[in-house]
Amino acid sequence: MVRVSETTGLSGVTVRTFHDYVCSPWAHRLKLARPTTTLDVLRVGARYDVAELVSGNSILLWFVESRRIRRERSNVNLPVDLIALLHEPSPCYVTTLMPDGSPQMTQTWVDTDGEHIVINTVQGFQKVKNVERDPRVAVTVSDPSNPFRYYAVRGRVVGITTEGGAEHIEALAQRYLGGPYPWYGGRNQTRVILTISADKIHGMG
């Protein structure tokens, strides 16, 4: 949904704001020096479906399109130092979102394909259910030799697959345990690989 609000500055210029509730809380502001018939028909404080607004309205079409481009181009490259940590037995915490919006955090092993953060988990686990519903995640990876040096990443799951999951967890076990994976929950588990694209990265230490 998109909500419309309006304010008038000291210069008399009207600023009508379209608050985007579909993808993110950011708002885009359009300054209107004079009344615009197409926009004036939108009631201030009302909420509209995006499809309804786009129909026959080039300004709002531009607004929705710019939102889509912003979303598609938001991924960022992983820093070289973070990639190095992802190739080590580094402590990692991943946070997903529960249905009510509350955070759910677990410690996990972590890996990378050079472009994404890769996590191996189990089908049916809560974090898998969460990312299937809402792909947004936060990941923290710290230096195993210095916990005060870490990277905090906000991003989204862009891939979920069971293909190669068992082989991948065995490779991670060699890195983290120095031996075969103990299969704590039994060998009947279905391993799942989550591929995460980073949107924001913050490093400390």
Q: Give residue-wise pLDDT tens across range 42-54.
A: 455 555 555 554 4
What pLDDT does residue 75 have? 76
Residues of the chain with CATH 2.30.110.10: 80-204
Q: How far apart are CA 99 and CA 127, in angstroms?
A: 11
What pLDDT does residue 185 have? 86
Q: How far apart are CA 199 and CA 138, in angstroms?
A: 10
Tell me which CATH code domain 80-204 carries: 2.30.110.10
- Angle ∠(17,20,21) on CA atoms, nearest 5: 135
3-state secondary structure of 52: helix
- Angle ∠(150,152,154) on CA atoms, nearest 5: 165
Q: Which residues contact 21 (CB under 8 A, 6 or more apart)?
A: 1, 2, 3, 47
Q: Give residue-wise pLDDT tens across range 123-162.
A: 999 999 999 999 999 999 999 999 999 999 999 999 999 9
Q: Give residue-wise pLDDT tens across range 179-190.
A: 999 998 888 999
Q: How far apart are CA 111 and CA 174, in angstroms?
A: 12
Percent of the chain with pLDDT over 70: 64
Whether the Cβ atoms of residue 75 and residue 155 lie closer than 8 Å to each other:
yes
pLDDT, the chain, mean:
78
Whether the Cβ atoms of residue 199 and residue 75 lie closer than 8 Å to each other:
yes
Q: How far apart are CA 183 and CA 109, in angstroms?
A: 14
pLDDT higher than threshold 80 for residue 13: no
Q: How far apart are CA 167 and CA 47, in angstroms?
A: 49
Q: pLDDT-based confidence at 87, cuts 50/70/90?
A: very high
Give me the phi and psi of 174, to 5 degrees please: -60, -40
